[in-house]
Amino acid sequence: MCGICGFAGERGGPDKAQELLLRMTSALAHRGPDDSGIFLKRDASVGLGHRRLSIIDITGGHQPMCDEDGMIHIVYNGEIYNFQELKGGLEAAGHEFRTQSDTEVIVHLYEQEGESCVEKLRGMFALAIWDARRGRLFLARDRLGQKPLFYRLDERGIIFASEIKGILADRLVPRRLNALALDRYLTYQYVPHPLSMFDGISKLPPAHTATWQDGSLTMRRYWTPEFSREVPGTEAGYVEKTRALLEEATRMRMMSDVPLGAFLSGGIDSSITVALMARASSAPIKTFSIGFREKKFDETDYARLVASRYSTDHTEFVVEPRCLEILGALAWHYDEPFADSSAIPTWYVSKLTAQEVKVALSGDAGDENFAGYPRYRAVRLAGIYDRLPRLLQAPFHAALWRRLPVSVEQKSLRRRARKLVLALNLPPEERYLTWIAIYDEVRKASLYSADFAGELAGAGRAADFVLDQYRLAGDRDFLSRTTFVDLMTYLPCDLLTKVDIAAMAHSLEVRSPFLDHKVVEMAVGMPASLKMRAFSGKRVLKKAFADLLPRAILKRAKMGFGVPIDRWFRGELAGFLSNLLLSDTAVERGIFAPAAVKALIDEHTGGVFDHGYRLWTLVMLELWQRTFIDELRDGPLEGLEDLL
């Protein structure tokens, strides 16, 4: 696991180009504290930089790496779990190897297969290859988007990095807010690809390659899970496939030359991962959990059940509402405003884990693959409504709406029920978007200043990011289409971004068996009836591992990796909220109407309505602007406690 960076095109001569590469790699040092290296073409028109977290072939895997002729140079971030298998085939074809690293396998595979080499890689990766023979720079990102890759294309050429701060190390790159990205961020709590919050800097989307040659960039999508058709099968057959594939994917992800452990939340997915690791290991597995004083958010009792069953070496940490101590670091490391508040516990569990191991396994993607989110139950309920005769829908909807009492709590059953009922008359795709949106179009319009709203005129709808994926999902049942949409949007843009940045900030590599593309391909073809029976999700998954998990884990409701920000904003952080969002600095940006922001704060702190998530979105946006836009900072904001 590493940080990569580089450029192709004029950068001001050899001395300036080398200085730039050193600044870029320095900006990514946290991703790879064990080693660093650069490659600079003799005429300084191409440069590659690398920071290494040594996991495989610790002594021999130095990068940048090249082929025997010095014509192909690579920098790469990730792990290829089938590299030994690929290596055997390449050796049989006559390729000779100097190291035991997976990096060299990619070099020879590129020699053999060209740009289609990525289709044979089983793992997580972001890579850059300079092909001197063809005069082209080849970039690629893994299928699900576990490893990030950003780039900027301008009149000087292309510059890329694992994190935006690597690109910003080029002081000629302007730091300007992207108004369109801000609008999308308020909808989703993340900036969807290919946008970034910096005007002119883009994300390479998951499962894409990009080739820069002669000043132009060509992009290609190389993988989409086959979703257009359901793959028939019995429950018993899918139970067997699920178990076999996840056992294999877990064993592959335990490949390491350094100590490894696991995140253990106490949920089904992480518990399965720990159980499979324990069965495959001759030594106790190290497990790490995060808890909260508020029992509504605390899962440590469940985590202890699994830790006890498998005699793991278990460590816990309780998160307190003193998160101001890390907010500056979060804004700095994420490079963009990122408003999933579970980044806080993810940060702490990563920090805790990195003190003992370099690699941790997780249960990411279990919910998307096997229909585990509570909102999928709402999808099922709404489907029943959709099947009612049209003459009955309107009076049924009106009767439901009148009977549901108002609740101010964001995650209460009553609040969710009202949200469900309010959207029943919308088309299913639009309905789902209203459920997941932080700010809908009406709320955003009331929040923006007149000038900023004018900037967005003609910018299209934020909904298109999700609706485009629904269109790709074909005509299967709506639950299956929705899990596909989440797999293509929420998973890479939110969950995997959250984990990658929080973990790599502490030089920790995180792997998830549920992200193996063979697991995903099996899961997307599975009939929805095998994933969700009545209103209970993960049916096949639970059956596949029922013998390995405590009954309490199998029967428990999903809690999620939440943070009690609603209570924090009414308590310890209430002063911080107003002092930050209504400060002269924030108001003078001219993005939001101050009265609208004040109304949100007053309604929340007064207990009228829970705007916790919406306010958190504004907090992280303001901290990002103070970190990256207001001045040329080279580190996190300090002194946030003064805003209390």
Residue-wise pLDDT tens digits, 121-160: 999 999 999 999 999 999 999 999 999 999 999 999 999 9
Phi, psi of 378 (to 5 degrees): -65, -35
Interval 46-94: pLDDT, tens: 999 999 988 877 788 899 999 999 999 999 999 999 999 999 999 999 9
641 contacts 328 by C-beta, under 8 angstroms = no
Residue 339's pLDDT is 97
Residue 533's pLDDT is 87
Residue 632's pLDDT is 75
pLDDT over threshold 60, residue 412: no
Q: How far apart are the C-alpha atoms of 554 and 129, rounded to whole Å?
A: 45
Q: How far apart are the C-alpha atoms of 435 and 92, rounded to whole Å?
A: 54
Residue count of the chain, please give it: 644
Residue 397's pLDDT is 60
- The structural domains of the chain, ordered by start, are 2-221 (3.60.20.10), 235-371+491-555 (3.40.50.620), 375-486 (no CATH), 565-643 (no CATH)
Residue 59's pLDDT is 80
Collect all residues with Cβ–Cβ distance below 8 Å to 534 and sequence separation of at least 6.
Answer: none
Interval 301-310: pLDDT, tens: 999 999 999 9
Rounded average pLDDT over 620-634: 92
Q: Is 414 left (phi over 0), alpha (psi -120 to 50) or beta?
A: alpha
Q: How far apart are the C-alpha atoms of 508 and 359, rounded to whole Å?
A: 6
Q: Which residue has the tokens 């946290």?
A: 30
Collect all residues with Cβ–Cβ distance below 8 Å to 390 and sequence separation of at least 6.
Answer: none
Q: Give the pLDDT band (50/70/90) at residue 459.
A: confident
DSSP 177-236: B-HHHHHHHHHHSS--TT--SBTTEEEPPTTEEEEEETTEEEEEE------SS-----HH
Rounded average pLDDT over 525-534: 93
Collect all residues with Cβ–Cβ distance below 8 Å to 639 and sequence separation of at least 6.
Answer: none
Whole-number average pLDDT of the chain: 92
CA distances from 340 to 63, 295, 444, 567 (A): 34, 20, 18, 16
* Catalytic residue, candidates 2, 5, 323, 493: 2
Q: Closest by alpha carbon to 27, among 162, 166, 146, 140?
A: 166
Residue 46 DSSP code: E
Rounded average pLDDT over 604-627: 95
Reduce the DSSP state of residue 359 to 3 states and report it. Answer: strand
Residue 399's pLDDT is 58
pLDDT over threshold 60, residue 407: no
What percent of the chain lies above the pLDDT cut of 70?
Answer: 94
Strand ranges for 34-99 from DSSP E: 35-40, 46-52, 65-66, 72-80
CA distances from 413 to 186, 206, 420, 545, 585 (A): 24, 35, 10, 29, 38
Q: Give the pLDDT band (50/70/90) at residue 401.
A: low
Q: Which residue has the tokens 């709404």?
A: 382
- Determine whether 117 is an active site residue: no
Q: Closest by alpha carbon to 369, among 245, 271, 534?
A: 245
Extract the tokens encoding 347.
């940060």
CA distances from 464 to 37, 430, 467, 560 (A): 41, 10, 5, 27
pLDDT over threshold 90, residue 478: yes
